[in-house]
Amino acid sequence: MKHEWRKHEKELYSTKKKPTILTVPKQKYIMIKGKGNPNNEDFSRKIGVLMSIAYPIKMNYKRFCKNNLEIDEEFHCTDYTVYPLEGLWTKEKENSNNKDDFIYTIMVRQPDFISEEMFDEAIKTVKKKKPDDLLEEVSFGEIEDGLCVQMLHIGSYDSEDNTFKLMDELVKEGGYIRSDSYHREIYLSDARRVESNKLKTILRYKIKKK
């Protein structure tokens, strides 16, 4: 059975239009760090490099499964849908509204059964077919967000403050506070193909009890 994150991980990828509190477990990612305005070409290049690795990882995994099935008839694998692009965001200067001050890590989540060795093989494949100096900046690792608040934001990225205000209210009412300055964005829409007022983005940040 194919693992589809939209169907099988509804809590983590909830499209509820109201804030909710949840616990996010440890997850695997391929990641690349950056600084500056996400409208710049450098940001687009980093997204391209990440996606150029995400799909070879999936293809190599399918090949791995096929080879093992030929050796062991009882062996089985789970196919999966590639996860959406995500980003961790903060600012170099806390109260700055200048997008050049953004500090970010963009990433694509990987299923639990994907290993760092599979990631390394995908990197080798991409380097041969489509060399790019940014490939050296991509890493594989785990992140555990733990206790969080999240909500679906519909609309332009520039209007996210309205959604964050609703999330902040729930956090305050529950006796929580933010545990760091970062927030996570999970991009359910492709900004190149969807009008800005219809973009769907899950917003999430980590919290703790006062």
pLDDT digits (tens, 9 = 90+) for 101-124: 999 999 999 999 999 999 999 999
The beta-carbon contacts of 193-197 under 8 Å, at least 24 apart in sequence, are: 196/155, 196/156, 196/157, 197/154, 197/155, 197/156
Instruction: Quote the pLDDT of residue 3.
Output: 86
Closest by CA position to 90, among listed 23, 28, 172, 179:
179
Q: What is the Cα–Cα distance from 201 to 182, expressed in whole angstroms?
A: 16
- Give the number of other Cβ atoms within 10 Å of residue 92's Cβ: 12
Is the pLDDT at 95 greater than 90? The verdict is: no
- How many domains is the chain partitioned into structurally? 1
Instruction: Quote the pLDDT of residue 93.
Output: 83
Encode 41-57: b = buried (16+ Cβ within 10 Å), e = exposed.
Answer: eebeebbebbebbbebb
Is the pLDDT at 1 greater than 80? The verdict is: no
Is the pLDDT at 71 greater than 60? The verdict is: no
How much is the mean pLDDT over the chain? 93
Question: Which residue is it, tokens 């990882």?
Answer: 57
Instruction: Quote the pLDDT of residue 54.
Output: 96
Q: What is the Cα–Cα distance from 60 to 97, expressed in whole angstroms?
A: 42
- When comparing pLDDT for 98 and 145, which is higher? 145
Lowest-pLDDT range, 34-38, 74-78, 122-126, 178-182?
74-78
Domain that includes residue 46, residue range: 5-209
Kindly indicate the confidence band of residue 69, based on its pLDDT and cuts at 50, 70 and 90.
low
pTM, whole model, 2 decimals? 0.93
